[in-house]
Amino acid sequence: MALVVVGSIALDTVITPRGRSDNAVGGSATFFSLAAARKTRVGIVGVAGKDFPASAIADFEKMHIDLQGLEIREGKTFRWGGIYRINMKERETLYTDLNVFEHFSPTLPREYRSCRMLFLANIHPALQLRVLDQMENKPLVGLDSMNLWIKTAKATLIEAVKRSDIIIINDEEIIQLTEEQYLADAVLHIQSLGPHTVIVKKGKYGAELFHKKNHAVYPICPEKALVDPTGAGDTFAGGFMGYLDSLNKPIPDFYDYHEAMIYGTVLASFLVESFSTDRLTSLNDEEIKTRLRKFKDRL
Ligand code: AMP
């Protein structure tokens, strides 16, 4: 397998100033794989319940996502509810029902254990470590996390960070995680633990790429009205990792990372135009190409 993602598969209820969406398909592994599949062959490792819609499985299959690692268990799919306030920056979690996710222990199909790239999406860091322990080679490892794990499982998360190459994190989380005061110090702190690349997401202010000693800043790519930002980070990460993998280079250079940032940003800009995965699954290649061209002209 080229690229493997381990993460959540969810049914989300989301309320934003533009409306609401109830029990719609979501989860970090879902958004990531639908984005990455635009560029490469991706395998998904996760668990869903019997209530996970057949139409969502059909969307995965349509994108040629490998489903050997997707377990469908007796019971309900992980459910998450969130509400965004006026400026859509702050998000409040309304509920988290773990359901079948509660006893999830990721087991990688044999074929996945020698993948070229691995993405540890937002799940408990102990599970991220369990995945790393199953690898038979040394893939390029990307890692995402969230404030919940920084608060409740920091030491374990630091262990997972040490074994990763690329950290994708938001500006508040990196400060919480490193306990540094300034972003530049926080990035150096993460790099001193092992990862050579740190991507700091800054919401509506875009993202910054730190690759070894190089640094670049990227704005967001606003085209249409923002409807629902849920999954934007995972979609960005999927586009980013999928693009890097598609280059088929053992060691991508700074220019490759730069192009991957642009591709991830553009895919995320489509995702936020609708609720759930609606826009991500309806997109065509021509639309992506046009927006990529426009975005690059503006940089
Ligand atoms: P993002 O907007 O990138 O933070 O990702 C939102 C997705 O994360 C939603 O689809 C949720 O189902 C999922 N999610 C929320 N809380 C958790 C959690 N504790 N563990 C794993 N996934 C979660």
pLDDT for 222:
82
What's the token pair of residue 252?
């991508």
Which portions of the chain are predicted below pLDDT 70? none
Among residues of the chain, what percentage have pLDDT more than 90?
94
Q: What is the pTM of this model?
A: 0.96
What pLDDT, on a 0 to 100 scale, did the predictor assign at position 204? 84
* Best mutation site among 122, 234, 278 for ligand 1 pocket (most ligand atoms within 8 Å of CB): 122
User: Which amino acids bring their CB within 6 angstroms of ligand 1?
Assistant: 8, 10, 12, 26-28, 80, 96, 122-123, 148, 230-234
Distance from residue 28's CA to the centre of ligand 1 (Å): 6
Query: Which pLDDT belongs to residue 202?
Result: 92
pLDDT of residue 86: 79
Q: Any bridge partners for residue 32, and if so which?
A: none
* 8, 93, 277, best to mutate for ligand 1 pocket (most atoms within 8 Å of CB): 8
State how far Cα 33 lies from the chain centre. Answer: 8
The DSSP result for 66-100, as a single string, is B-TTEEEESSPPEEEEEEE-TTS--EEEEEEE-GG
Q: What is the pLDDT of residue 164?
A: 98
Q: Residue 250: its pLDDT value, please?
A: 87
pLDDT value, residue 15:
97
Going from the Cα of 194 to the center of ligand 1, the distance in angstroms, rounded, reads 26
Instruction: Return the pLDDT at 1.
Output: 84
Identify the CATH number of the domain defined by range 3-9+29-46+113-298: 3.40.1190.20
- What are the residue ranges spanned by the domains of the chain? 3-9+29-46+113-298
* pLDDT tens sequence across 147-164: 999 999 999 999 999 999
What is the C-alpha to C-alpha distance for residues 99 and 96, in angstroms, rounded to an integer? 9
For residue 232, which atom of ligand 1 is closest to its CA?
A: 3
Q: Supply the pLDDT for residue 174.
A: 97
Rounded to 10°, the helix 254-271/232-246 angle is 140
